[in-house]
Amino acid sequence: MEFTSFKTLVKEEVQRRAGEAYRVRLNDVVKNNGVVLSGLTVMQDDSNISPTIYLNNYYEAYESGEATLGMVVSDVMDAYNKNKVNRRLDMRYFLNYESIKGRIVLKLINTEKNRELLKDIPHMEFLDLSIVFQCLISNENIGSASVLIHNAHAKLWGVDSRELYRRALQNTPKLLKYQLQSMKDVLNELVEPDMGSFSGCVPMYVLSNERRTDGAACMLYPNLIEDFSRAIGSSLYIIPSSVHELLLLPAGLFADGKGIGRMIRDVNETQLSIEEVLSDSLYFYDSETKEIRIY
């Protein structure tokens, strides 16, 4: 069965089970690095928000024989019931820039892999990456979420990329505080107490935010990289582990970073999902010029 037919059948069966008081829709969602996922939403007539349930993995399970259509529909219904919001959310505040300017944060994505998306969103280029902007939303009914800011939002608010960047650079370090740990400490957190500990690791450091989501943007936090470089007395290799975190490595430990570059490409191709990849590039912070460049 083709994916299009599968999606239609799932939608129709979910609609039948949900009843007339619900609206079931299919929509494609463009994710990071051009990944397009097929989503299904189930919305009550008195609600204006719904979780998006992606069908791509369900289709793979159906095609491989691991799941029947009935099993898929039941799982989709369970996922909806666990994540549904039973009341309307007042989003009128999002129309007013003064109301949301304190919630705007920045995010780093790959420029080349997101050419189509970048046509529709405000952004600023940084090396081979692009700085884009999100609005953080916190609500007792939905928890924490983020809304990607599009050109239509910026036009409505009467602001440009420079203004969004200025606000985001102020907000992001406060709202998404950085977390910097040695690799040794990170590994020790992952092992059981009776399994011993890691002590002989290369002095490598993991940089992200406290949420461990979109933490590569910490590279842009004012003075963060500079202060850390000064503290350890070395220039730094900055490894884009994913969109969520960076690895910092004292440059004095390696005479040549070419091997690190090969490792980055290999990890991106074999260990990460496409939408988690930030870049194949190795970055270098020069403690003398105080600049970050592609190595």
Q: How far is CA 148 from CA 121, 122, 191, 213, in A?
A: 8, 10, 36, 14
* Phi and psi at residue 146, to the nearest 5°: -135, 145
Residue type, position 288, single letter:
E
Q: What would the two tokens of residue 22 be?
A: 């619900």
Q: What is the pLDDT of residue 192?
A: 54
Residues in contact with 80: Cβ distance below 8 Å, sequence separation at least 6, in sequence order: 14, 42, 50, 51, 53
- Between 3-18 and 56-63, two packed helices, what is the crossing angle to 10 degrees? 110
pLDDT score of 198: 45
C-alpha pair distances (Å), 66 with each of 56, 207, 213? 14, 39, 31
How many CB atoms neighbour CB 149 within 10 A? 24
Specify the pTM: 0.85
H helical segments located in 64-221: 69-83, 97-100, 115-118, 151-157, 161-175, 183-190
Q: Cα–Cα distance between 255 and 99 in angstroms, integer?
A: 50
- Please report, in tens digits, the pLDDT of each residue of the chain (295 residues total): 899 999 999 999 999 999 988 899 999 998 999 999 999 999 887 666 778 999 999 999 999 999 999 999 999 999 998 887 666 666 677 889 999 999 999 999 999 999 999 999 999 999 999 999 999 986 555 456 788 999 999 999 999 999 999 999 999 999 999 999 987 766 555 555 554 444 555 689 999 999 999 999 999 999 999 999 999 999 999 999 999 999 999 997 776 777 888 999 999 999 999 999 999 999 999 999 999 999 9
Q: How many CB atoms lie within 10 A of CB 72?
A: 21
Give the count of beta carbons closer than 10 Å to the beta carbon of residue 251: 19
- pLDDT at residue 196, as a whole number: 47
Report the candidate in 192, 206, 210 with the shortest Cα–Cα distance to residue 242: 206
